């Protein structure tokens, strides 16, 4: 089966040959062209900047595989397979241990950068969530600016925050952009997803290839979208109806999180087996994986509720656009869309989901 990148014709970009392992980078031709062009003479540090869900982390691992592969990124040798399985000794993905990157984390990264590669010509250190570097930035600056000749940093961040400006200036910046629905749909189809399902998942993914892939694997996706669109017809002026609808919606969201937990369980089991094989008795890596999984679950919940609110807003939006309609009906529908937008914006503040949705549905019920 072709990958999304191969389907999009990325064997050659900007006159450059793209190694097989990098062809798996989906929907980011400009980033891919830049990375392919630097493989002959890689620099000491790269900044992969862009929104969550644009494939930054996956691309960082694939780029690392190309950097340590003796054949420049063949995608099939033992080195490439080990990188993609997370067990190559010269590729390290560093996760933050708390809500931000701490000074202790930074010192551990500095120590890691000083060691020599074990089997490859160089080692690659991938630093995730680096827009959260904060006060730890000064500890890392000198090492990122002038690492040992055999160390390459790949820094992943959503944006260049004030604490990251100086470090970012020492990196080659590689921008990852949100994907349009057509590109996401094409990637899914190239990966074997049925066209109708691919189109629906792409429309609900808001430019995020990771979310689109998750929805494509989720048998409850269509039913959840329908449940959100059915909400206006279930509101009958009673708090009991609101409570029942909110409970059902959140239960459906939890089903999607369950799909994620299942995949995460497989990942954790594979990591534990690798730690046992290598004799690694440290709990730090396990804890980092657990924290990343918790963050991913939180993000999936938020994304799913936001997508549900968008589906709900589309129902009221259709009422606004319908013609002819009584002015009072149009005004009520417009007010409902505004209320939904406010609720969606509030999700970024990590609110109590049940209270947020209950208050919203009560408001929608009062608007009629």
Residues 40, 168, single domain; the answer is: yes
Residues 246, 360, single domain; the answer is: yes
Residues 245, 157, single domain; the answer is: no
The confidence score (pLDDT) of residue 104 equals 80
The confidence score (pLDDT) of residue 249 equals 96
CATH of the domain at 10: 3.40.50.300
- For residues 15 and 37, give the distance between their C-alpha atoms in angstroms, rounded to a whole number: 9
Domain closes at, from 142, 160, 175: 175
Q: Is residue 196 in a domain?
A: no
Residues 349, 247, single domain; the answer is: yes
- For residues 2 and 8, give the distance between their C-alpha atoms in angstroms, rounded to a whole number: 10
Q: Is residue 207 in a domain?
A: no
Residues 257, 142, single domain; the answer is: no
Number of domains in the chain: 2
Structural domain for 243, as ranges? 239-367
Residues 168, 246, single domain; the answer is: no
Q: Count the neighbouring beta carbons within 10 Å of the beta carbon of residue 94.
A: 20
CA atoms within 13 A on the CB side of 219: 0
Strand 45-49's sheet: what is its strand order? 91-94, 123-127, 151-157, 45-49, 172-175
Residues 151, 292, single domain; the answer is: no
Domain closes at, from 154, 175, 196: 175
The confidence score (pLDDT) of residue 4 equals 45
Q: Is residue 274 in a domain?
A: yes
Domain closes at, from 175, 202, 220: 175
Q: Is residue 351 in a domain?
A: yes
Q: Is residue 205 in a domain?
A: no
Residues 163, 296, single domain; the answer is: no
Is 174:35 a contact under the CB 8 Å cutoff? yes
Q: Where are the beta strands (DSSP E) in 128-221?
A: 151-157, 172-175
Tens of pLDDT along the chain (368 residues) come to 344 444 344 565 555 689 999 999 988 999 999 999 999 899 999 999 998 889 999 999 999 999 999 999 999 999 999 999 888 999 999 877 666 677 887 888 888 888 889 999 999 999 988 877 777 788 888 888 888 999 999 999 998 887 778 888 889 999 999 898 999 999 999 999 999 999 999 988 888 888 899 899 888 888 999 999 999 999 999 999 999 999 999 999 998 899 889 888 988 888 788 777 777 666 767 777 888 888 889 888 998 999 899 999 999 998 888 767 678 888 899 999 999 999 999 988 889 999 999 999 999 999 87
Residues 169, 273, single domain; the answer is: no
- For residues 90 and 95, give the distance between their C-alpha atoms in angstroms, rounded to a whole number: 16
Is 59:21 a contact under the CB 8 Å cutoff? no
Q: Is residue 340 in a domain?
A: yes
Q: Is residue 168 in a domain?
A: yes
- For residues 153 and 110, give the distance between their C-alpha atoms in angstroms, rounded to a whole number: 11
Q: Is residue 98 in a domain?
A: yes
Residues 16, 159, single domain; the answer is: yes
Residue (of 213, 214, 182, 211) closest to 199 by Cα position: 182
The confidence score (pLDDT) of residue 350 equals 85
- For residues 54 and 97, give the distance between their C-alpha atoms in angstroms, rounded to a whole number: 23
């Amino acid at each position: 089966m072709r990958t999304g990148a191969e389907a999009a014709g990325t064997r050659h970009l900007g006159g450059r040959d793209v190694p097989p392992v990098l062809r798996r980078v989906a929907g980011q031709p400009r980033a891919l062209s830049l990375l392919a062009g630097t493989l002959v003479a890689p620099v000491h540090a790269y900044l992969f900047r862009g929104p969550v869900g644009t494939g930054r982390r996956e691309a960082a691992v694939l780029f690392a595989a190309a950097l340590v592969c003796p054949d420049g990124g063949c995608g099939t040798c033992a080195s490439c397979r080990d990188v993609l399985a997370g067990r190559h000794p010269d590729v390290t993905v560093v996760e933050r241990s708390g809500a931000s990157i701490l000074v202790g984390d930074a010192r551990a990264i500095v120590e890691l950068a000083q060691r020599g590669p074990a089997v490859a010509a160089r080692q690659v250190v991938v630093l995730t969530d680096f827009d959260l570097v904060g006060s730890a930035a000064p500890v890392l600056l000198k090492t990122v600016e002038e690492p040992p000749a055999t160390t390459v940093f790949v820094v992943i961040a959503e944006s260049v925050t004030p604490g990251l400006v100086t470090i970012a200036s020492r990196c080659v910046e590689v921008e990852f952009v949100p994907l349009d629905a057509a590109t996401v749909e094409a990637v899914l189809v190239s990966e074997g997803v049925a066209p109708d399902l691919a189109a629906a998942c792409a429309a609900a993914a808001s430019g995020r290839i990771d979310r689109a892939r998750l929805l494509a694997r989720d048998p409850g996706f269509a039913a959840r979208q329908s449940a959100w669109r059915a909400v206006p017809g279930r509101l009958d002026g009673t708090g009991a109806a609101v409570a029942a609808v909110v409970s059902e919606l959140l239960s459906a969201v939890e089903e999607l999180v369950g799909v994620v937990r299942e995949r995460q369980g497989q990942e954790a089991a594979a990591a534990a087996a690798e730690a046992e094989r290598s004799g690694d008795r440290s709990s730090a890596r396990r804890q980092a994986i657990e924290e990343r999984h918790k963050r991913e679950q939180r993000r999936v919940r938020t994304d799913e509720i936001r997508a549900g609110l968008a589906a709900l807003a589309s129902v009221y939006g259709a009422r606004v656009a319908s013609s002819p309609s009584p002015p009072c009906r149009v005004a009520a529908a417009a007010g409902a869309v505004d209320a939904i937008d406010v609720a969606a914006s509030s999700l970024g503040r990590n609110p109590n989901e049940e209270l947020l949705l209950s208050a919203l549905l009560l408001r929608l019920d009062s608007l009629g």
